[in-house]
Amino acid sequence: MLNLIQHLTSIVCRIDPETSSGWHKMRKRFMIKKLLEQKKCFKLICGAGNENLAEVEKLVALYAKAGCRFFDLNASEEVLAAAQKGLDFAIEKEFQKDYHFCVSVGTKNDKHFKKARINSDKCKRCEQCIRVCPQKAINQYFIVEKYKCIGCSRCFDACKHGAMEIYSENKLIDLSTFQLPHLSCVELHVSDEESALAMWDELCGNFHPMMSICLARGVFSDEKTAELLKKMVAKRPPYTVVIKADGNPMSGGSDDFETTLPAVEMGKFVQSLNLPVYLLLSGGTNSKTAELAKLHAVNINGVSVGSFARKIVREYIEREDFLTNQQVFEEALAIAKNLINFFQV
């Protein structure tokens, strides 16, 4: 486990001199606030642990072309560069100022920063792990390709032989090396109160147009969750924080009301706190989320969609010719547009 002090020391949240100016920060904050205040924000979650550069490039290219303007990414230079390539493919440079990247960092042992591996001594080669992995991160030799793994634990749950092992991989992150002007937000995934408060203080002291808190219900008691959110939000000016109400993390494979209900319930809980924040739903989100939120009188600023958004286009983005075969791209584009339209009506 990484030493917390080392982790915090490494997070030097600066950009280059040109893009770290006060004017730049104010402009980025204004642009992302404008997007959130329309209350129709669709945020694509590429995956906090997703380091598959080819997939990230294709996902950003596809969903940017479909109308998405906000992208959640693994906090690495390589992933940000891949996302920028995807954005360049879909959107001309002169029109990119309204597009936003958000990178995710996490407290110790957060689920979003876990990886799977296979204990070869226990593995029976039954292939159940291969069948259930949504990222196709397990190859024919029963080795987890770590850069594809997002830590969803479906392989762990499916394995009857105890061969799957899940481990934390919180990396040292130096945000001072990130040079892209589209980095508009840093999101902190919270699973430990002490380290969350320490990391939040460090991040708020150095960064940025907008900050985001991702927290699932059930990590703490409702009373502790409310107390922690109030403490964290109080450290920022009003409406410079997004709370991503994470219902059931990385569970959005199905397109039904039951799957997305935990996200809506978590959103309703956050709404009851009356904090000066923007509210996004995540964790089991799908095409039904906005409709269910409306039925439950949850006033959201948008929805973050990850597992479901990736699943519905996977057969297309896995193709080597995805970005060069116009027919294939257009077929996937129609699917992506249809999903985004559920949140923009």
- List all residues 6 or more positions away from 330 whose beta carbon is below 8 Å from its beta carbon: none
Nearest Cα neighbor of 29 from 223, 276, 234, 237 is 237
Instruction: Quickly list H helices, 207-320.
Output: 222-234, 257-272, 289-295, 307-311, 314-317
Domains and CATH numbers, the chain: 4-110+172-341 (3.20.20.70), 112-168 (3.30.70.20)
pLDDT for res 113: 81
Residues constituting the chain? 345
Dump pLDDT digits (tens) for 97-149.
899 999 998 877 788 888 999 999 999 999 999 999 989 999 999 999 998 99
The answer to whether the beta carbons of residues 307 and 251 sit under 8 Å apart is yes
- Provide the percentage of residues in the chain whose pLDDT is more than 70: 87
What is the average pLDDT across 46-50? Answer: 91
Please check the confidence at residue 95 and state whether its pLDDT lies above 50. yes
Please check the confidence at residue 34 and state whether its pLDDT lies above 70. yes
Dump pLDDT digits (tens) for 64-87.
999 999 999 998 889 999 999 999
Exposure on the CB side of residue 93, measured as CA atoms within 13 A = 3
